[in-house]
Protein backbone atom coordinates (compact mmCIF):
# COMPACT_ATOMS: atom_id res chain seq x y z
CA UNK A 1 0.00 0.00 0.00
CA UNK A 2 1.20 3.51 -0.84
CA UNK A 3 -0.17 6.67 0.80
CA UNK A 4 -0.32 10.21 -0.57
CA UNK A 5 -1.66 13.31 1.11
CA UNK A 6 -3.04 16.58 -0.20
CA UNK A 7 -2.07 19.25 2.32
CA UNK A 8 -4.18 21.86 0.57
CA UNK A 9 -7.35 19.96 1.54
CA UNK A 10 -6.41 19.18 5.15
CA UNK A 11 -8.38 21.01 7.85
CA UNK A 12 -6.33 19.63 10.75
CA UNK A 13 -9.11 17.66 12.41
CA UNK A 14 -6.53 15.18 13.67
CA UNK A 15 -8.47 12.03 12.80
CA UNK A 16 -5.46 10.59 10.97
CA UNK A 17 -3.10 11.07 13.94
CA UNK A 18 -5.62 9.61 16.37
CA UNK A 19 -6.18 6.56 14.19
CA UNK A 20 -2.72 5.91 12.70
CA UNK A 21 -0.12 7.77 14.77
CA UNK A 22 2.80 5.89 13.18
CA UNK A 23 1.83 6.98 9.70
CA UNK A 24 0.62 10.57 10.20
CA UNK A 25 1.60 13.59 12.25
CA UNK A 26 0.47 17.24 12.38
CA UNK A 27 2.76 20.23 11.76
CA UNK A 28 3.61 22.31 14.84
CA UNK A 29 3.04 25.58 13.04
CA UNK A 30 -0.27 24.87 11.33
CA UNK A 31 -1.68 21.52 12.46
CA UNK A 32 -1.65 20.33 8.85
CA UNK A 33 -1.03 16.65 8.12
CA UNK A 34 2.52 15.33 7.69
CA UNK A 35 3.09 11.91 6.13
CA UNK A 36 5.56 9.88 8.20
CA UNK A 37 5.40 6.67 6.16
CA UNK A 38 4.62 6.57 2.46
CA UNK A 39 4.62 2.78 2.51
CA UNK A 40 3.12 1.71 5.83
CA UNK A 41 4.13 -1.80 6.93
CA UNK A 42 1.41 -4.47 6.72
CA UNK A 43 0.59 -4.21 10.44
CA UNK A 44 -0.26 -0.51 9.93
CA UNK A 45 -2.48 -1.02 6.89
CA UNK A 46 -5.75 -1.37 8.75
CA UNK A 47 -5.13 1.76 10.81
CA UNK A 48 -4.12 3.65 7.69
CA UNK A 49 -7.27 2.60 5.83
CA UNK A 50 -9.34 3.75 8.76
CA UNK A 51 -7.58 7.12 8.86
CA UNK A 52 -8.24 7.61 5.15
CA UNK A 53 -11.90 6.69 5.52
CA UNK A 54 -12.41 8.97 8.52
CA UNK A 55 -10.48 11.97 7.19
CA UNK A 56 -13.32 14.50 6.80
CA UNK A 57 -11.58 16.48 4.06
CA UNK A 58 -10.59 13.60 1.75
CA UNK A 59 -6.97 14.64 2.09
CA UNK A 60 -5.59 11.09 2.28
CA UNK A 61 -5.40 8.83 -0.77
CA UNK A 62 -4.46 5.15 -0.76
CA UNK A 63 -2.89 3.40 -3.76
CA UNK A 64 -2.91 -0.36 -3.45
Partner 1 sequence: MALDLAELSYPMQRSCPFHPPEAYAPLRENQPFARVRLWDGSHPYLLTRYEDIRAVLAEPRFSCEPVREGFPHVYEGRMVADKADRSFLRLDNPEHDRLRRMVTKEFTVKKVQALRPYIQATVDRLIDNYAAMPQGSDFVEHFAAPLPTDIITLLLGIPYEDHEIFRRATRIQFGSRSTPAEVRESLAELFGYLDALITRKEAEPADDVVSRLVHDQYRPGHIDRITLINIVRLLLSAGHQTTQNMTALGVLTLLQHPDQLALIRADASLIPGAVEELLRFSSILHTGARRVALEDIDVNGHLVRAGEGVICSIPAANRDGELFPDPDRFDVTRDAGPHVAFGFGVHQCLGQVLARAELQIVYETLFRRLPELRLAVPFESLRFRHDMFVYGVHELPLSW
| Residue closer to partner 1 (CB basis): 27 or 41 | 27
41 binds, among ligand SF4, partner 1, none (CB under 5 to 8 A by kind): none
Residue from the set 1, 35, 54, 62 that interacts with partner 1 by CB under 8 A: 54
- DSSP per-residue letters across the chain: -EEEE-TTT-----HHHHH-TTTEEE-TTT--EEES-SS--GGGHHHHHHHHHH-TT--EEEE-
Which residues lie near partner 1 (CB under 8 A)?
Answer: 11-15, 17-19, 21, 26-32, 50, 53-54, 56-58
Amino acid sequence: MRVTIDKSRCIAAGQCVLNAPFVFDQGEEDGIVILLKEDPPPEQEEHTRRAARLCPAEAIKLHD
